[in-house]
Structure 1
């Protein structure tokens, strides 16, 4: 067999197995996604649309900035070599030549040496201070580096434009003593696009060192002047040294003149050292230009980092810092730098430009796929950086908007991992800072006035509220995955009402055609946060559900979504799940049922046969909500019956999608028939054959719900009705009794997916044993032994009707032991 074909078959086989496993996994998930059986966690139960899960760790990606740190290392080797040789030549000249026999030098050599020492001293001086100015000039040089010849290559038109700009600045009097920060109040607001905004302090790159001709003495221009001085000094040194080394006219040495016998060698050594130093420096510059201009290393690193067109400034600044470390300290110090650490240092700066640069780098790396894991790990373990990001969420000035959005973006990504979300929520004031991101458009003016945010009121027309709000809700959504964080969200003053306020969606928004996606996204995220809070377990969950249901806007907002949200089934699904979770509390159940239209909308959605198949989960959720609202609530059961839903529920037993929840709702409606007279419940009897077939012919969960309905629905039947039911179904009483006993034998321990099957089986057996002939049948089938076995294997699982994850919330009034004892007593009576 051909090796390639064999490999292809194996490949297809593996893919088929994976697909099969995926289908099995999906089936298990869909079967277990219910509030009526225990699950691993309430917060992890049936996550609805737009759920973010932490992606698995991806393989390590080489850091692009390594190219820059290696480049800086090589440059530093050349620079330090040149500096070392320069120092040696300086010592040689001062000690050996000028200090030792200056009087014996020729006039030419004396001035050559003096000139070389002066220009080399100038170069060394300018070099020692150049790195100081590089950091400052890096902000304004977006097209060329400090140590670059590009500015010498500009066209005549560019030079002319530069000169005109200079004269214009001089004529406009740009040497004001001090610039005072101004908050714009006009419609056109300055954006932070890389240019400096006016601040209350000088930016070092804009400092005029002299009161006149300040354009010459700006930091960026000084760095260029220093650069030119170095190059001119090196070239002059090369020329002078070569002239002397080639001509070697060191003067004649008279015979017997011992003072001049070593002059030629000494001068040759000096000129050789000076030449070597200058050539090394020029080699460094050539290498620099080759990498920066022709190889475009800065642009390539910027492209690999995906920092965008403005990112070149960040890359250049990083390179200058790495180079400075290599030159000023050990040549290996620059290798310890990376872009993430560099950005975190900038984030802690007091300069707005540096803060924005740092936040921009971290946002790009955190949001990108390649570097996200490594970046988030470094940020997460740096407590001061996380604290700084949270602090930035409180910055409400319009000119700080970009930094604020960047910080929120980073935190939203950081909160995606559980350990980081706990770290974020654990910082004092974190929840209050996140709360500050939420501005309700219905109440923002009054809220801002209360806290004195007048500048925000003035400029709120141009402030990007949609993005800020969405980011705040996204952070809360991810934080709410953890139980402890849910409690902190609930305990933060004013935060819960803000979240609920964002669930408001008017008819125009839900039914409109040209609605911004960000508006729908904001409603969806707020619903997701409320859903997660409402589904929290324990005492925290009870408190949150109480506070959510007591908010007068919660239920009415959900009602509007159910009523007008046909175009947005994902919003309807989230609203329904909120109602289901709130219905775990008795007070909330009555409050929901008493809100006009809620039950009606749920019934309409549950029986909406026109819904596309891909939206079936919305109908299923509506059924579960009706089950919860009817559970142990006489008022809600009566309200459902008044809606005329009984006949539709009976018909729903024949529909595969609806039958389980329809059976549960009918069971709840039948529960109170003995306490209150509901004559219309007799309409359920035509469905009895369907129920009976479901018990005998079906298995697992459907069999369980049919058993549960039968135990309560059959009690409306007379003896004649019972006989007619068995005849219509084509099933004998003995067959049903046999099935019930077999169920107790088969399920000696209650399955998690349908934990109440034995309870419902015993309830139906008790109903059947009202007829003495059935008692003998059960005795012959060995029901007594099975009931005694149930007493020995009863678990807590069978005593509960609903669950929040692994926690049972509602206990049956009749215990399993009491049911078994009732059945045993009936068996012993005959």
Structure 2
């Protein structure tokens, strides 16, 4: 693995398991990605600097989120994106059709009203018979009543949905008892039936208390909530919004029916000649015809409404398609009335522009808790439902600053009756954080990190000591109730930590880093228990993923975070516990080793690792094991970083086992298809030979047994060999040569079946292949030049000088001198920032080689080349 400062595009690859536990491409380059880039079997490493490449660490933004086939029976989420349309489009289309009928009827009514008042009552009033006069009067009064009722019915019906939303919110609260039933499920597994029944009774009591608290909150608010208002004293039933709405509805129906009856009666008799005016008949005929058509259109609208809602059950169909749960029916009804009102009050096309996401955003911005409950539930369902197109939903929410701020604000609401709302808001924020742009908007809100951090604390508001972390406590009582919040908080932090700036904000949040480390504490009975709570294990996993991303950050921020984690007295001890007892959870062990490898990049981390008893031994035993290849390779990377540029680190490795060098030589001889273990062993062995003190020199002479194998690997052509393995083998050859002279080296070449001329030609060919610094193997040319220097200064130097001149090494060194780069001056890299600068600049090494080859000096005693 390699640490980078790359950033991924605005895409989301959540994976199954409820919210995307597998992170999308992030500031760390995935090992499989590095292998693909390299085209070989070598392992990605700290030694390779990162550079942006097309498609690396990015996610293609899919228009409309998750795709779906046209045959998918589940309609997709608002804004489309799949093969099916959003469910609420059925409602907005229905509202449009109703509005067409309503406005057509209203238009005819207006025309009829003008005709009656201007022509009939104005021009022919003295000629009208008493029957026609009263028929016209009744029709006009009825029309006026219908217009009055229509203008206020929607208002009262909409008000009725607000009244019912309080009841729906209470249903949501009752459904929130599932939160407590999850706790009861745990209790039931460890107690008898009587205990479970008592626990269920306690949960029901809590639910009732929450409902009473919700009612009390409504009373404490400074403004009136419309559903709580009584229009007239002692008339609460009469003045109920639902009843008034129905009264206005039937008033319109009766008016329309009376208009139809009177119009048909007069048209049937058509005795319009009492006044003797020849224009009377067509005037009255037109009036009664318009009145009849208007009333019929209105009744057709009502019939269409009743058919869709009563027989076709359109509201229930949309509610089921949206999967909104207890709050669904009232939320959908209220959405429909909003859309219909827009179509009636403005253009008929205004309503079809509405969608449930925008509707829910308006609800969460309300000052009333019941509306906030419904709004958050809608957003939660659409943001987390795998069958829905979550991409457009999250994009719509993320581009609404007010909505994002309110969701973040909800994370810090800690009253008991707000738990369900808070948990739903946390799930939405977790999905939002999965997109890079949304994550940046989230972290840009003042106090956002602190709000997310509040999810990691219990209701007591006091951080638990690192020796007694909450997620590993018994999942009952107050701490158990908050385990779901802990998991959500850690997942949000994990997604936010993909960005370097967010990592700095996490570091600056007071006490947050220590709190995250607290969750990595595990006990043997948890890790070794095959029936341990999955939630507790996932809490440890998420905490390790967060810590891994923090310590993997590049630049000054990463350096400060690594120091901060290493300075925590519990951090490395917790990682040791996972390695020691986590055989049943290899994924946790891999994460723990990755964190150790990152910590070992700095001296503070190296000291903490070496000061923790048994940890280096655990890494060595893991590397030597063959049960889990991936785990062994990760352990090898940690050992690489521990030994790099550190005499103490090398000593800590060598003192663990007497056969450490033999173990590394044996791993180097592993000729499997995967070169990662060989690569790890070669790098560790090179560091031991390069940086160990003189007192270990005799032990390290055993490394010379690997020289024939290393030489044979070096002689392989590039197409047969991963260039990372070639790089480290050339470097290891130079370090092994410190223990032998030129004559012994010639013998080792013969033992490997390699001629001296062929070996020198191979070195020259490597320099020709790498005319410029190669970002994947930045030390390749340095190692080759160092080996050339050793050849010219060993006891057979005069022989090698001639051979080097014959192959054109002087010209190659001149070319290298003209193309040296700062890239070649470092051992390892954190992103594009070099770590562990070589003791000699590369240009200085090349100058020494040129001086030797041009001066012709050879035969000098063998001298060690500085690493």
For residues 653-698 of structure 1, the C-alpha deviation after alignment (integer angstroms, 9 at most, x for no partner) is 1124422111111121122445444432233233332223222346
Of structures 1 and 2, the one with the larger relative CO (CA 8 A, separation 6+) is 2
- Aligned pairs for 1:145-294 (under 5 A) are 188-190=206-208, 199-201=217-219, 203-205=225-227, 207-212=229-234, 214-248=236-270, 253=274, 267-294=284-311
Could you tell me whether the CA contact under 8 Å between 2:514 and 2:568 is conserved in 1? Answer: yes
Name the CA shift for 1:463/1:781 in 2 (closer, same or farther; >3 Å): closer
Could you tell me whether the CA contact under 8 Å between 1:37 and 1:754 is conserved in 2? Answer: yes
Q: CA deviation at 1:628?
A: 0.5
Q: Partners in 2 of 1:389 and 1:129 — Cα distance?
A: 34
Q: Which moved more, 1:766-775 or 1:72-81?
A: 766-775
Name the CA shift for 1:561/1:388 in 2 (closer, same or farther; >3 Å): same
- Aligned pairs for 1:293-332 (under 5 A) are 293-307=310-324, 310-332=327-349
For residues 172-205 of structure 1, the C-alpha deviation after alignment (integer angstroms, 9 at most, x for no partner) is xxxxxxxxxxxx9985235999x98554246534
Aligned partner of 2:762 in structure 1 is 739
Q: CA deviation at 1:214?
A: 3.2
Name the CA shift for 1:444/1:576 in 2 (closer, same or farther; >3 Å): farther
Could you tell me whether the CA contact under 8 Å between 1:205 and 1:220 is conserved in 2? Answer: no
Q: Partners in 1 of 2:370 and 2:422 — Cα distance?
A: 13
What is the total number of aligned residue pairs between the two structures?
744
Which of 369, 390, 398 is equivalent to 1:372?
390
Q: CA deviation at 1:609?
A: 0.9
- Aligned pairs for 1:242-641 (under 5 A) are 242-248=264-270, 253=274, 267-307=284-324, 310-368=327-385, 370-439=388-457, 445=462, 461=478, 464-611=481-628, 616-641=629-654
Aligned partner of 1:38 in structure 2 is 49
Q: CA deviation at 1:506?
A: 2.2
- Aligned pairs for 1:635-650 (under 5 A) are 635-644=648-657, 645-650=660-665
For residues 501-545 of structure 1, the C-alpha deviation after alignment (integer angstroms, 9 at most, x for no partner) is 222222222222223333222222222222222122222222222
Could you tell me whether the CA contact under 8 Å between 2:457 and 2:463 is conserved in 1? Answer: no
Could you tell me whether the CA contact under 8 Å between 2:749 and 2:755 is conserved in 1? Answer: yes
Aligned partner of 1:10 in structure 2 is none
- Aligned pairs for 1:6-45 (under 5 A) are 25=36, 28=39, 31=42, 33-40=44-51
Aligned partner of 2:76 in structure 1 is none
CA RMSD of aligned residues (A): 3.6
Could you tell me whether the CA contact under 8 Å between 2:731 and 2:783 is conserved in 1? Answer: yes
3-state SS of 1:581 partner: helix
3-state SS of 1:461 partner: helix
Name the CA shift for 1:123/1:198 in 2 (closer, same or farther; >3 Å): farther
Aligned partner of 1:13 in structure 2 is none
Name the CA shift for 1:490/1:740 in 2 (closer, same or farther; >3 Å): same
Could you tell me whether the CA contact under 8 Å between 1:500 and 1:553 is conserved in 2? Answer: yes
Name the CA shift for 1:269/1:757 in 2 (closer, same or farther; >3 Å): closer
Q: Partners in 2 of 1:399 and 1:186 — Cα distance?
A: 13
For residues 65-123 of structure 1, the C-alpha deviation after alignment (integer angstroms, 9 at most, x for no partner) is 33322322221222123233334444555566667777876665555455444444333
Which of 160, 168, 173 is equivalent to 1:137?
160
TM-score scaled by structure 1?
0.81
Could you tell me whether the CA contact under 8 Å between 2:214 and 2:417 is conserved in 1? Answer: no
Q: Which moved more, 1:365-374 or 1:758-767?
A: 365-374
Could you tell me whether the CA contact under 8 Å between 2:413 and 2:422 is conserved in 1? Answer: yes
Name the CA shift for 1:731/1:30 in 2 (closer, same or farther; >3 Å): closer
Q: CA deviation at 1:131?
A: 0.8
Name the CA shift for 1:363/1:711 in 2 (closer, same or farther; >3 Å): same
Q: Partners in 1 of 2:532 and 2:125 — Cα distance?
A: 88
Which of 807, 819, 822 is equivalent to 1:796?
822
Q: Partners in 2 of 1:53 and 1:517 — Cα distance?
A: 30
Q: Is 1:680 aligned to 2:699, yes or no?
A: yes
Name the CA shift for 1:290/1:141 in 2 (closer, same or farther; >3 Å): farther
Name the CA shift for 1:32/1:642 in 2 (closer, same or farther; >3 Å): closer
For residues 455-512 of structure 1, the C-alpha deviation after alignment (integer angstroms, 9 at most, x for no partner) is xxxx973985233222222222222222222222212222222222222222222222
Name the CA shift for 1:708/1:23 in 2 (closer, same or farther; >3 Å): closer
Aligned partner of 1:123 in structure 2 is 146
Q: CA deviation at 1:246?
A: 2.2
Q: Partners in 1 of 2:239 and 2:519 — Cα distance?
A: 54
Q: Partners in 2 of 1:423 and 1:55 — Cα distance?
A: 18
Name the CA shift for 1:23/1:435 in 2 (closer, same or farther; >3 Å): closer
Q: Which moved more, 1:766-775 or 1:65-74?
A: 766-775
Which of 35, 58, 62 is equivalent to 1:56?
62
Name the CA shift for 1:228/1:482 in 2 (closer, same or farther; >3 Å): same
Q: Partners in 2 of 1:32 and 1:636 — Cα distance?
A: 22
Q: CA deviation at 1:311?
A: 2.8
For residues 553-595 of structure 1, the C-alpha deviation after alignment (integer angstroms, 9 at most, x for no partner) is 2211211121222222222222212122222211221122111
Q: Partners in 1 of 2:88 and 2:207 — Cα distance?
A: 35
3-state SS of 1:40 partner: coil
Q: Which moved more, 1:23-32 or 1:477-486?
A: 23-32
Name the CA shift for 1:780/1:228 in 2 (closer, same or farther; >3 Å): same
Q: CA deviation at 1:599?
A: 0.9
Aligned partner of 1:161 in structure 2 is none
Name the CA shift for 1:31/1:221 in 2 (closer, same or farther; >3 Å): farther
Could you tell me whether the CA contact under 8 Å between 1:390 and 1:430 is conserved in 2? Answer: yes
Q: Partners in 2 of 1:391 and 1:473 — Cα distance?
A: 17
Could you tell me whether the CA contact under 8 Å between 2:709 and 2:752 is conserved in 1? Answer: yes
Q: CA deviation at 1:745?
A: 3.2
Structure 1, gaps ≥5 residues long: 1-20, 143-183, 449-458
Aligned partner of 1:695 in structure 2 is 714
Q: Which moved more, 1:759-768 or 1:728-737?
A: 728-737
For residues 116-167 of structure 1, the C-alpha deviation after alignment (integer angstroms, 9 at most, x for no partner) is 444443333222211111212225669xxxxxxxxxxxxxxxxxxxxxxxxx
Q: Is 1:813 aligned to 2:852, yes or no?
A: no
Could you tell me whether the CA contact under 8 Å between 1:559 and 1:598 is conserved in 2? Answer: yes
Aligned partner of 2:669 in structure 1 is 654
3-state SS of 1:617 partner: helix
Name the CA shift for 1:462/1:502 in 2 (closer, same or farther; >3 Å): closer
Could you tell me whether the CA contact under 8 Å between 1:653 and 1:662 is conserved in 2? Answer: yes
3-state SS of 2:144 partner: helix
3-state SS of 2:645 partner: coil
Q: Which moved more, 1:663-672 or 1:199-208?
A: 199-208
